[in-house]
Structure 1
Amino acid sequence: MQTKQLVLVAMFAALMPIGANFTSFLVIGLVPITLQTFFSILAGALLGKRLGALAMIIYLITGLVGFPVFAQFKGGLGTFLQPTFGFLLSFVILAYVTGLIIEKRQKKNLNTFLIACFVGLLINYVFGTHYMYYATQFLAGSDAVSYRVVWGWMAAPLVKDIILTFFAAILATKIYHIVQTSKSSPNQKIA
């Protein structure tokens, strides 16, 4: 891995805790309002499938070993039992798929980035919300929370995430070629 690639991966792994806790004091239902989806989409769009997913894996592992990098400054293995853990897992998948779509497309224009970023957002919501529903049903043993209520909790974050996904696609379109040039330029490799 080149030094610049390593720096970019570390940068996105470090942006995730900032995005997790910048606004996480706002909670709707069980869902803290964060900027994590925005940063994970950008990671996939700018770093590509492999490095974007790697940045999200590093973030996930950092939190699971106990560092308080998840929303509301949580961390540790107990996070597996949290209803929002599915969103954390989805960040790896969405970064990979977002990067994959962009890498596969011949034209790297705004339409490509919009499609890739919104597919990533869809993955985040489908995977995360379904995990949250099943976690409330099976892990917490609560039948009081219906499938409709869980999706209702996601309405406010969805508006925010749609706006931020548009912004991520536009931003990624503008700086993609700069990042890709810096990734492919000759540099000292790290073993």
Structure 2
Amino acid sequence: MKKMKTIEITLVSMFVVLIAIGANITSIIPFLVVGGVPITLQTFFAVLSGLILGSRLGAIATSVYAFMGLVGLPVFARFSGGFGSIISPTFGFILSFILAAYVGGKIVANKKTVTPYIIAAFVGTFINYFIGTNWMYFAYKFWADAPEGFTYGMAWLWMLPPLPKDIILAAVAGVFAHKMRVTVLTKGQFKNINLSA
């Protein structure tokens, strides 16, 4: 692995913390629960890490986050953690963050306009939903206690309540990441970071 610079380690660490905060934002701000559905910012920050940091650093940040949770640090939703999380029906969403960040970063590499950033954010969100929902389905079918009458269609129906929120946040992530890349990250120390990798 390419040796990381101090500024890169700092940015990766910042996104690890942001994803952890995003996972538990409703514990900090309880009113972010609408109709019983928590408005978490996990996916938002995971996708944002790839768009802002690039595919390599974004994938590192999301991998570090997943690793920290698996070794027992309470960084997952509801301040959970531990290796047992790997058999959780929702662990696929956490795994998806790595691919979502990587693919998103690849899409926006060397792009100057905002459109590719918005597209990349939607692609990253789709990856999150696809991997997470399929993992949840297979978890309930093979090793977790599935609700009575559980089907593949039901798994996708469960994803409908948070979908509008994630569509809006994906658009916000794309616009915000583009703004950051063409302004802040083109100045000072940030100019020495290879964000296209």
Same fold (TM over 0.5): yes
Kindly provide the CA deviation profile for residues 51-101 of structure 1, in whole angstroms up to 9, marking residues without a partner as x.
Answer: 000000110110000011000111001101110000000000000000011
The corresponding residue for 1:175 is 180
RMSD: 2.1
SS for the counterpart of 1:145 is coil
Q: Which runs of 5+ in 1 are unaligned?
A: 187-191
CA change 1:180–1:71 in 2 (3 A) is: farther
Report the number of matched residues: 183
Kindly provide the amino acid, as one letter, of the partner of residue 14 in structure 1: V
d(CA) in 1 for partners of 2:49, 2:9: 13
d(CA) in 2 for partners of 1:27, 1:179: 35
In the alignment, structure 1 residue 97 sits paired with structure 2 residue 108: no
The corresponding residue for 1:3 is 6
Q: Which runs of 5+ in 2 are unaligned?
A: none
In the alignment, structure 1 residue 185 sits paired with structure 2 residue 192: yes
d(CA) in 1 for partners of 2:93, 2:55: 18
d(CA) in 1 for partners of 2:128, 2:84: 21
The corresponding residue for 1:22 is 25
> Any residues of structure 2 matched to 1:94-173 within 5 Å, and which?
94-103=100-109, 106-142=110-146, 144-173=149-178
Q: Does the 8 Å CA contact 1:117/1:168 hold for their aligned counterparts?
A: yes
The corresponding residue for 2:62 is 56
Q: Does the 8 Å CA contact 1:85/1:131 hold for their aligned counterparts?
A: yes
1:23 deviation in Å? 2.1
TM-score normalised by the chain length of structure 1: 0.88
Q: Return structure 1 stretches of 4+ with deviation > 4 angstroms.
A: 24-29
d(CA) in 1 for partners of 2:137, 2:93: 12
SS for the counterpart of 2:26 is coil
Q: 1:34 aligns with which of 22, 30, 40?
A: 40
Bigger relative CO (Cα 8 Å, ≥ 6 apart): 1
1:27 deviation in Å? 9.4
50-59 vs 32-41, which deviates more?
Answer: 32-41
